[in-house]
Amino acid sequence: MNIKKSDRLSKLPPYLFAEIDRKKAGLIKEGKDIISFGVGDPDIPTPVEIVEEMKKSVEIPAFHQYPFGRGLSAFREAVAEWYLNRFGVKLDPEKEVHALIGSKEGIGHLPIGLIDPGDVVLVPSPSYPVYGGGTTLAGGEVYYMPLKEENGFLPDIGSIPEKMRQMAKLMFINYPNNPTGAVADKSFYKRVIEFAAENEIVVASDNAYSEIFYEEKPMSFLEVEGAREVGVEFHSLSKTFNMTGWRIGFVVGNSEVVKIISDVKDNYDSGVFSAIQNTGIFALKNYEKFVEKNVKIWKRRRDVLCEGLRRCGFEVKVPKATFYVWMKVPDGFSSSEFCEKLLLKAAIVATPGSGFGSAGEGYVRFAFTISEERIEEAIERMRKIKN
């Protein structure tokens, strides 16, 4: 039998880390000690108190059944309370909050409920691959908005062509930004809201990194007037509490968009394990102490990495948020050539910027989700190959 993938699936670019993984596997076989700045997945374990809370939650029989629906009311109330404390934004836990099996799940499902074939989705380049991938799988077309260094890695909304404004139904934005580490301010969000209202485009703001910051606390898109009329915001417990494997996140904001996500999900999944939601309540209620501890670790690593890269003679900008350093590759290299050199000569994995979209060409992303000692070891190796 000849099994043929759908056109939608065939259109997706090859998985970002596949090629690097293949080369990495070869080197590991040769006995090389690989240092990986590749995937942005915290190495720090979930706080013990959260794990303890999970142990208690898992013993409650009521949590063993299908969770269904928008999430436990207590979880949705905890999200609303967190939003009020953290951002000063009031949410209706009934209509404006929905639990997700990680924010990636909701981001991927939104275009299925919103996009018809031929509709356009505005996606930043470079960006988290799910915005474009989810659009393509929903049969939509992607218009890439380049994020340029001279614009602070914010999309230049004024340059989006008239035709695209008319065809677009959805726009993704993501600050603090993966992969560039950039942050957005109120005036940017104001422009986005104006643009969205004028052109009837739904805004999906991905705020997964709101709690990984080194200067000012990043804001929520929903803090800005008019945001709730045009869009939603995605959040995740993954990065905030080192819970990537647990799969829990949420979407908040415009009740019609939340309902669309809910209707799609009713047909795909049956919700987040209630014991995990119950543990999520505990994490959100105690977020300040967990975040404070976490940020201290990330900050030290960030400084070790940035200072080290400078010592190696690289030009590097220190990120204000996220656990990524987004660095220009040296002259004469493409993103992937530079990453290949790091891998073959120094057994270091970093992600080529071009993997996040064509506008990421010329850059490399280092995720500092490894210990300070390993970062220092990597710097030492880079210093050696530089000479």
Ligand X SMILES: *Cc1c(COP(=O)(O)O)cnc(C)c1O
- Which residues between 18 and 57 bind ligand X (CB under 6 A)? 40
- 48-56, 193-201, 233-241, 356-364 -> range binding ligand X (CB under 6 A): 233-241
Closest residue to ligand X, judged by C-beta, is 102
- 17-25, 234-242, 307-315, 327-335 -> range binding ligand X (CB under 6 A): 234-242
Strand arrangement, sheet containing 324-328: 324-328, 363-367, 351-352
Please tell me whether residue 128 binds ligand X under the rule CB under 6 A.
yes
Please tell me whether residue 104 binds ligand X under the rule CB under 6 A.
yes
Which member of 46, 125, 240, 244 binds ligand X (CB under 6 A)?
244
Which lies closer to ligand X via its Cβ, residue 128 or residue 189? 128
Which lies closer to ligand X via its Cβ, residue 173 or residue 346? 173
Q: Which two tokens stand for residue 287?
A: 């977020």
Tell me the CB-side half-sphere exposure of residue 15, using CA atoms within 13 A.
7
Which lies closer to ligand X via its Cβ, residue 123 or residue 382? 123
Which member of 249, 253, 308, 319 binds ligand X (CB under 6 A)?
249
193 near 224, Cβ under 8 Å? yes
Exposed/middle/buried for residue 377 (C-beta within 10 Å: 0-12, 13-18, 19+): middle
Min. distance of Cβ 380 from ligand X in angstroms?
28
Q: Which two tokens stand for residue 248?
A: 């829990």
Which lies closer to ligand X via its Cβ, residue 166 or residue 270? 270
343 near 37, Cβ under 8 Å? no
Q: Which two tokens stand for residue 207?
A: 């705020």
The CA distances from residue 341 to 236, 306, 326, 327, in Å, are 34, 19, 17, 15
Min. distance of Cβ 103 from ligand X in angstroms?
4
Min. distance of Cβ 349 from ligand X in angstroms?
17
Strand arrangement, sheet containing 249-253: 97-100, 249-253, 231-236, 202-206, 168-174, 120-125, 141-146
- 17-25, 88-96, 238-246, 254-262 -> range binding ligand X (CB under 6 A): 238-246
Tell me the CB-side half-sphere exposure of residue 215, using CA atoms within 13 A.
10
List, in sequence order, the alpha helices (H) in the chain: 7-10, 18-29, 48-58, 73-87, 103-114, 130-137, 162-167, 186-199, 227-230, 237-240, 255-268, 274-285, 287-311, 335-346, 372-386
Which lies closer to ligand X via its Cβ, residue 91 or residue 130? 130
Min. distance of Cβ 326 from ligand X in angstroms?
13
Please tell me whether residue 242 binds ligand X under the rule CB under 6 A.
no
250 near 48, Cβ under 8 Å? no
Min. distance of Cβ 118 from ligand X in angstroms?
26
Min. distance of Cβ 131 from ligand X in angstroms?
9
Min. distance of Cβ 50 from ligand X in angstroms?
15
List, in sequence order, the alpha helices (H) in 200-273: 227-230, 237-240, 255-268
- Which residues between 165 and 224 bind ligand X (CB under 6 A)? 174, 178, 206, 208
- Which residues between 250 and 309 bind ligand X (CB under 6 A)? none
Which lies closer to ligand X via its Cβ, residue 103 or residue 136? 103
The label of the residue with tokens 């990636």 reads 104
Under the rule (CB under 6 A), what is the footprint of ligand X? Answer: 40, 102-104, 128, 174, 178, 206, 208, 236, 238-239, 244, 249
